[in-house]
Amino acid sequence: MIRAVFYNAVDLFFNLWCLAILARVFFSWFGISPYHPAARFVFRITEPILAPLRRVIPPIGMVDITPAVAIVALQIVKGVILQVVGRI
């Protein structure tokens, strides 16, 4: 029972983090002000993963690919964690 709750909580956490990254991408596409409360919240929770990636991954032309890399990395980490939890 506790394992299932933990499994679902980890799954939900990583899915929400990926959705926040996608929201940040959409905010930039649609010109949402970075001072909007929702945008500030999304920036605050996504910057810890995107900032280190931006230092390592250069933009391709005018396109920042770090959100895509971050989502892939988060999905890999989520899969590893859920596999470990599933074996316990």
pLDDT at 88 exceeding the cut of 80: no
Q: Where are the domains of the chain?
A: 2-87
**What pLDDT sits at residue 86?**
82
Average pLDDT value over all residues in the chain? 94
User: In this structure, are residues 87 and 12 in contact, taking their beta carbons and an 8 Å threshold?
Assistant: no
**What pLDDT sits at residue 14?**
97
Tokens of 42: 């999304």
Q: Scanning the structure block, which residue is given the tokens 């499994």?
A: 7
Condensed to tens digits (0 to 9), the pLDDT of residues 5-45 reads 999 999 999 999 999 999 999 999 999 999 999 999 999 99
- Rounded Cα distance between 67 and 7, Å, is 25
DSSP 8-state class, residue 31: T
- Rounded Cα distance between 11 and 79, Å, is 9
Closest CA to 63 of 21, 25, 33: 25
